[in-house]
Structure 1
Amino acid sequence: MTFPFPPIDDLKELIQLARREDLGPGDGDDVTSRLTLPEDQIAVGTLLQKQIGVVCGLPIVEMVCRAYDERLRVEMIPGFHMEIIEGRYSDQRTTPLLRVRGPVRSLLSAERVILNFLQHMSGVATQTNRFVRRVAGTQAKIYDTRKTRPGFRSLDKYAVLSGGGENHRIGLFHGILAKDNHVAGVAVRDLRDWAIRLVARSRAESPDRFLEIEVTALDQLQELLKVEGIHCILLDNMDCPTMEQAVHMRDAAGRKGTLALEASGGVTLDTVRSIAMTGVERIAVGAVTHSAPALDISLEIET
């Protein structure tokens, strides 16, 4: 799945919400800038990445600027191009990104909102990249989850891709993931028939819909290996030896290549390599979005 940068129409409401939080309702007011700076003063602000990591979210800078003042203009720094900078890993302590030119009052009003978006998205991309690097050389790929900030789902999904990860389903509407609460009450002996009925109902609505079922024990997996039409089985909170057994069972059943196995639960930077070595193809990591620390980015302004 690919996830391009969300279009402006999808982000207008979120950007306006961020603007209202800072400036208040209506036209809003940056009291400090209005009382300390000349109305006609022009300034240039340079966005600087001040921490090693992956920068992400640069297209939103112009979107935010337009929401504040049409006179704010985004400029590329000579020798830099956005398509090269966006999603780039930098190991430099200070890396220039973009410039914004326009009325200083408007620039200062938009500063924090611009940085909030960039720092968060770059943090998600960087955290994802850390996990991706840990599993390099294995067949496992890092997948995100739905554990995102409300309103930020599309931006977080984009940031995960920028960090080298993969997108799981975008939302509840986008594919089936039957978890423990959905399967509760279904005895292991009945799980096969239950899954066959689920596959049939799903295919009747949408033949190509992605379908994944969670298991917590190997006897559940054994029953689901008999069911065609399941794309992935989620191995919930299993230790590495158990996941190795799951991979062996799947392969012995002749389902390798047609049925993916996904590890979920307890995945950290310290454990992800061992999990990848079990042979699973997918590792779901909620931490890449819900616990990603912001990347240090600043806006230095010259009048």
Structure 2
Amino acid sequence: MANDFLQRDWDLELEDDLRQLIRLGIREDLRHEHDWTTLAVIPADATGKASVVARDTGVIAGLKTIDVILDETNVAGSCSIQCADGQTVTSGQAIVVIEASARELLTIERLILNFIGRLSGIATLTAQYVSHVEGRCRVYDTRKTTPGWRRLEKYAVRCGGGMNHRIGLHDAIMIKDNHLAISNSASVDLTMRQAIEMARNTAASIERDQDVIVEVEVDTLEQLTDVIPAEPDIVLLDNMTVEELQQAVAMIRDTNSGIELEASGGVTLETIGEISQSGVDRISVGALTHSAVNFDVGLDWSFRP
């Protein structure tokens, strides 16, 4: 049995995604021209100190984005980090202090705040979900992410104490109802158990340092009964009631298998606590990334002539 999905740390692959997003953000703001407002009213030799300040209580994520933004925009200056990713901050607390040309900082101000706000919003919401399960199980994200932002958003989930589900279609096998429906519509009479066996054969042929996880989605207890003998690594229990989840947990315990159970489908802050009490091993929550509200941060300025 495979262990778990690859967990997202800050690495070169993530930073490459970030740099592409920064370049896009610059094009959106400047379109190969200039910040005409700043050029018009700010002296060329003005320098300033700007602090990224929290306007609320929450969990910070994405502090390393600032150095990369400065590098991509060729802004020469100093950046002093005042806290750490994953740390809880309160309203009025300085997160980062930057010293550089006032013109250049004004031009990239919104870019900095957008990245910190978005990622910290995800980390903050994730921390709320994690706190509701009180250690009874693990909270996972999904692939319901912003296009281009997936690695960054999954990193933010980790900062909030959550876990990463598969990064993409390339790093795990997950058999869903549509796979079986399409196969059967093509005159291939494929059962879930057969699909898992085929997936196991495919996984065995993939050369990886880490075993490829095989997960299957079911939405009834009858389907769970069918897939247990094939021993997938994880069974996703889709939109089941808490009572059904409890029955599923009992079924797995009776088999004494190493299969992990994952609850999913419409999980909210109001329901996750009760779901976690069912005994499932993990809960996947699309809302961590698709419903997070930006964390409120601002730039407080101190100019020098």
Q: TM-score, normalised by structure 2?
A: 0.91
CA apart distance, 1:3: 1.9
Determine the structure 2 residue equivalent to 1:134.
132
**Alignment identity in percent?**
37
5 Å-filtered alignment, 1:1-303, equals 1-7=6-12, 8-25=15-32, 28-76=33-81, 80=82, 82=83, 85-90=84-89, 92-138=90-136, 140-184=137-181, 190-206=191-207, 208-228=211-231, 230-255=232-257, 258-303=258-303
Rounded to whole Å, the distance in 2 between the matches of 1:168 and 1:120 is 20
Letter in 1 for 2:174: L
Deviations 1:200-255 (A, max 9, x none): 23223347111100001111100111113x11000001111011111111111111
Letter in 2 for 1:259: I
What do you get for the CA RMSD once the two structures are aligned? Answer: 1.7
Tell whether the 8 Å contact from 1:6 to 1:155 is kept in structure 2 after alignment.
Answer: no
Q: TM-score, normalised by structure 1?
A: 0.91
CA apart distance, 1:188: 10
CA apart distance, 1:14: 1.2
CA apart distance, 1:266: 1.5
Instruction: Report the number of matched residues.
Output: 290
Gaps of 5+ in 1: none
SS of 1:225's equivalent in the other structure is: helix
Letter in 1 for 2:245: M
Relative to structure 1, the CA distance from residue 9 to residue 197 in structure 2 (aligned partners, 3 Å threshold; closer, same or farther) is: closer
Rounded to whole Å, the distance in 1 between the matches of 2:52 and 2:11 is 21
Determine the structure 1 residue equivalent to 2:3.
none
Tell whether the 8 Å contact from 2:180 to 2:190 is kept in structure 1 after alignment.
Answer: no
